[in-house]
Structure 1
């Protein structure tokens, strides 16, 4: 086993960086979805949702930066082209979403996909003793679980 300057197994960190790039691609699609629904939302709930979607896309933008910087910290290069994002993402793409229920559903569906990826990275980072990635995933998961709960409550659905 070869340790890098962080004291982590170089082979495992390469795999983690690959997984983080996958997460980064999905987060970029999620971020763009949030921008789109922020811009295009219509109806009687416009004022509340417009503000909420801005809050969410601002948070997603910060998380994109954290993920990319973690990939760099692990010694790899983050994805940075739309081709890479689209080619490596499972998060659904929301196009021309302007109805409140559809917009909130898009957020729930997107976060559900992100949580799956983050839980997988959490397991891998734990196995690699990578506390930095592990901590970041734990924080993301905690915040996003709460957002899913709130969005599902808005939709009048159980978690």
Structure 2
């Protein structure tokens, strides 16, 4: 029996990465629903601008959810797919009844902050495992989201 998986990574390292990626997947799923909620419920003079921006965000998040799940499969493991697992694992907390534009933007900033922390941990683990595929994927997410954090912070005057 080999101690490497189908893509040549040490099985123990692939298992550790799959666990971390499932945690990331759970956080993305909760954050995705928060973005949908802000898209649907934002009110006020910034409605049109933010409604469109939140749609762009949740569309991008949905793509990333699929990519993360497929990376878990590539590593030889099963992505979580039950909301009960997402609720249990996610450190992004769901928000409800958010209507205020600034509060919606802050919700997006808080979620991105959490995702960035988790992704940096995944990146470290991927680098330690010589897993360029996961490292590259997560590194791209980090770069994109850091720019989004800057833009949303600027929107709030921070």
TM-score clears 0.5:
yes
Number of positions where the alignment pairs a residue of Structure 1 with one of Structure 2? 157
Q: How large is the RMSD of aligned CA atoms in angstroms?
A: 0.8
The alignment's TM-score, normalised by the length of structure 1, stands at 0.97
1:1-159 aligned within 5 A:
2-157=3-158
Cα displacement string for residues 75-118 of structure 1 (whole angstroms, at most 9, x for unaligned residues): 10101011000000001211111100000000000000000000
Structure 2 unaligned spans of 5+:
none
Cα displacement string for residues 14-66 of structure 1 (whole angstroms, at most 9, x for unaligned residues): 00000000000000000000000100010110000000000000000000000
Cα displacement string for residues 103-158 of structure 1 (whole angstroms, at most 9, x for unaligned residues): 0000000000000000000000000000110001100000000000000000100x
Structure 1 unaligned spans of 5+:
none
3-state SS, counterpart of residue 95 of structure 2: coil
Counterpart-to-counterpart distance in 2, 1:5 and 1:91: 32
Q: Runs of 4+ in structure 1 displaced over 2 angstroms?
A: none
